Structure 1
Amino acid sequence: MRFHEDTIFKIEGQKYGQELIEIMNIEGKILKVHQTEYGIVDPKMYKPDLVFELEDRIIILEFQSSYVDVNDKRRFRFYSAIIDQVKVKSKKPIEVHVLSTVEPEKTKCYKINPDSRFPIYIHSLKSIDGDRFINKMNTKIEHEEYFTEKELLMTTLFCFMKSTQDVEKKILDSAELISSIPGLKKEMAQFAKGIVLMLCDKFVKDDTLNYRITNLVGGNMENVERYAQDRVDENNKQIIIKLTEKGFTTEEIIETLNVSKDFIEKTLAK
């Protein structure tokens, strides 16, 4: 992928991630979006798509274009173990939710042993007529009508809806539509384009089509990422000041925020 999606989602994920889980009928309020890169494992093999901390539990959200098999189940169980032991260190229960392009709503289980089952909650948007939805959104663009945040997120998830087109073509349609929406807020565009690029990276195997989609929504992603990183840095600066006032040492702040000593010193010198 041509951009670092953790940066893209870290700031805007709490707001727009809430809309996303509501579309999937997952109840709860998002408190925090967690980083999904773990240096102790191969990120190409073991990297959850999104991790949301809710008030009462932690949600691992995966996008899937194939049936969840036993290898997927093991991978999801591994995610939960890593998040539980290494990253989040919370007493909250961890759930894995999958938004699938092929499977209906159901719950699958991974049997760790005869007495232990790990549930995996599969969600589907196949009840939505995707072709009709996209036509409606294109009409809104033609008439320069306002897009709600939910409509924009639904557009990014077109590939999960019922349609006469294949998954790759649906992702292309999403990319073209999002790129055509006038007056889109930078923050919302950032999150929507991040979702489309993630889906493109996961599902679009044709190199030419992948390149086309990436260029459509990712041509200015370097600027978007820089904007997102600036917001992350500003947020970290405020936290550094507060932690310092509470007596935290530089080493403790480095461990807590994963920032450099130089960054801390420059922040406190201002």
Structure 2
Amino acid sequence: MVLIKKDIVYDQSKNLKTDIYFPNDTSSKTKILIFWHGGGWFRGSKDDLKKIGIHLANAGFMTLIPDYRLAPKYLFPCAHQDSDDFIHWLLNSRYTDEDDIKNIVQIGASVGGNMALYLAGKYGFPTVTWSAPLEFSNWIKNHANTIPSKDGANELGLSDPHQIREAFYKYFTLAYIGSEDNSLLEKIDASNFDFSNLKQLKMINSADELTPLASVLDFIQFLASQNHEVELLVIKGTGHAMDYAQDYLDESLDFLYQTIKRQDKA
């Protein structure tokens, strides 16, 4: 049995809430997993993820799925600030003990993966990303002729899957940034995050999907140049993040279990 506490307020001033899924055998040794939802920073909600929350709790993690402010009403850096504020709330809440920062792991789906990388570099949380978008500033420059659209097939009459994905990539990026200001776009390029405290990281991406694989390989090279450890799993097909979530959820958990064992031995 999983106990679910819904709509726990973590930021009163912004009315931001999280759902918490407690495993049946919760103890002081229970590990904590934060799941960051995707949705291009303009849609998505913790309320869509009950099935995953239950699965993660049944795997032994106290699981928190927070909401954050969405574009276009709330532009960059709102979502990233909310993720950081959530960590501060969690570490000072009654749901964690004094030294629980070492017990926190993350999974981030799509743009939630971008935010999870930001936090992983800052706090050292072992992390798994599913199709995290990584590069924006040069991508926007190189796609000046792409018309942004969240539904390129119906809105623009596009039939090429790559063009549809490119239109959507540009749409959600500009929806969050609010402009093509390169100095702002660079701030969500993952290679510009501070990875001083990065620990274990596993990235999962499909071979041909919304997140360009070339940007993933460039990011892996960037991390390697800083002597960071990272695993990359490239799966066949065109699925993005939640498209393959159920098939790779247990593999993600296996990776996080192994990081926990390594930390316990250290």
Q: What TM-score, normalized by structure 2, do the two folds share?
A: 0.29
Normalized per residue, the structure richer in helix is 1
Structure showing greater radius of gyration is 1
Q: What TM-score, normalized by structure 1, do the two folds share?
A: 0.29
